[in-house]
Each structure stands twice: as C-alpha cells, then as structure tokens.
C-alpha cells in the first residue's frame, strides 16, 4: 500500500511485467489493486495448470494481512499448505 492506495498493476507495485515473472510451476504473476494473481503453468501438474491463485491483501487496524484462495477452482489438496 502506497499513500493509502493499493498499486493497481505490476509497474506501480515495482514489479516486472506479469509475463516476465515465471518459474517452474508459475506462468505469470499479476498485481491488480490489493490482489496478487498467480497463474500456474509450465511444469505445474495438469490439475492446476492454467488456473489462478489469488493472494489478497487486507488492511486491518494498520496491519496488512494476506489471504489466499482459488475461488474453488483448485482443489484444496493442490493449494499451498498456507492456503488450505
């Protein structure tokens, strides 16, 4: 959060272009307001490939807290353990 506002894109968040952030299991990482959207792909298991995981920041009493969810698209057993 900068000056009371969430950055609404990767550039404003000081990050590389969404398609330049990738790894063995991640196809892209995008910032949209208070949400970081991780798109799985590349060598990810086919059950999560091309599916999104949302990491959502919530500002609560001066503290930023994070939640994660896939809106039910990814079964819990395939989510990172902190998201189950």
Residue 65 lies in a domain: no
pTM attached to this predicted model: 0.86
Residue 47 lies in a domain: no
- Window from 9-18, 51-60, 71-80 with minimum mean pLDDT: 71-80
Range of the domain at 11: 1-31
**Could you tell me which of 4, 6, 62 has the C-alpha nearest to residue 34?**
6
Per the CB < 8 A criterion, the answer to whether 67 and 58 are in contact is yes
Residue 8 lies in a domain: yes
Query: What span, in angstroms and rounded, lies between the C-alpha atoms of 69 and 19?
Result: 21
In which band, very low, low, confident or very high, does the pLDDT at 8 lie, cut at 50, 70 and 90?
very high
Residue 48 lies in a domain: no
């Amino acid at each position: 959060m900068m000056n009371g506002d969430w950055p609404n894109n990767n550039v404003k968040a000081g990050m590389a272009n969404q398609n330049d952030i990738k790894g063995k299991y991640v196809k892209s990482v995008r910032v949209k307001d208070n949400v970081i959207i991780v798109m799985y792909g590349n060598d990810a298991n086919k059950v999560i490939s091309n599916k999104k995981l949302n990491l959502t920041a919530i500002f609560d009493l001066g503290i930023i807290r994070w939640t994660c969810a896939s809106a039910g698209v990814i079964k819990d057993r395939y989510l990172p353990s902190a998201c189950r």
